Amino acid sequence: MAFSRVAFLVLLISIVGYFVHAYAGNFYHDFDITWGDGRAKILNNGDLLTLSLDKTSGSGFQSKNEYLFGKIDMQLKLVPGNSAGTVTAYYLSSKGAGWDEIDFEFLGNLSGDPYILHTNVFSQGKGNREQQFYLWFDPTADFHTYSILWNPQRIVFSVDGTPIREFKNLESIGVPFPKNQAMRIYSSLWNADDWATRGGLVKTDWAQAPFTASYRNFNANACTWSSGTSSCTSNSASSTNAWLSQELDSTGQERLKWVQKNYMIYNYCTDTTRFPQGLPPECKMP
């Protein structure tokens, strides 16, 4: 009997593993390489994607699908060594003059110095909502998961499941919130040595090229948008789409405070020099 139970569990785990693998993101299926003239590569039967940058060009890709709300996860391993001047951008964006955007940008640095994780939220073409962080690990040594939770109430940026930033829907006080425009996922690796590292003081060392960033384990638990129609129905906030109404619990709030206390290095909501006429209204909310 014991053997039968063990055999059954092994079989069950195998079946679950099969379906998890079968429904995991595949770069051939989910993304198009959009620029880079061969510098972006999909490898390992679609399980791995790499972007590279040299003195001639960077590279990039975008999702085939558009999304209107979702929980998006991607594992990244950033450019190692002296990555000064390089930027690895991973973000959601719509198109047009009044675009919406949710940004992760990783600003390279000299060997031994920490990467800067730059975040921003645009709504109706207006951004200027930057928060920047150091990470509590070396993001070039291994893959780490960078997640965006985007639902009608809030946007939460997370790293390895730890929330680092929350941007709430505060339309009630006149703050635009991205909720009406579908967005694609984009990523690019490019040269920004006019501003990326110490405000442009440290330039890209092309002797280190090509620079390479790697991606794997993409997952989108999301509402896809096609021909003006969402794949999510009015009753989608079920157990399978709990993210549509998800908020930070007490543990998440404590982890968020821990990150912001120990690793935040810039917050637009405290930059009174930049906003001499007064901080943005969302900065005054508790």
Would you state the torsion angle of the CA atoms of residues 129, 134, 137, 139, taken in this order, to the nearest 10 degrees?
60
Question: Does the active-site annotation cover 105?
Answer: yes
Please tell me which residue in 66, 105, 166, 247 is annotated as part of the active site: 105
The side-by-side arrangement of strands in the sheet containing 116-122 is: 31-35, 59-63, 184-191, 86-93, 101-107, 116-122, 131-133, 264-267
CA 284 to chain centroid, in Å, comes to 26
Residue 101 appears among annotated catalytic residues: yes
Whole-number Å distance between alpha carbons of 132 and 106: 10
Where do the H-state alpha helices sit in 94-168?
none
Q: For residue 286, is the peptide bond before it cis, meaning its omega torsion is within 30 degrees of 0?
A: no
Compute the Cα dihedral for 200, 201, 206, 209 and give only its sign: negative
Collapsing DSSP to helix, strand or coil, 24 comes out as coil
Rounded to an integer, what distance in angstroms lies between the CA atom of residue 249 and that of residue 245? 12
- Contact between 217 and 75 under an 8 Å Cβ cutoff? The reply is yes
Two tokens, residue 67: 């999304």
Q: What's the count of helices (H) and strands (E) in the chain, helices before strands?
A: 3, 16
Cα–Cα distances in angstroms (integers) from residue 133 to residues 145, 152, 153, 264, in the given order: 16, 25, 24, 4
Residues labelled catalytic: 101, 105
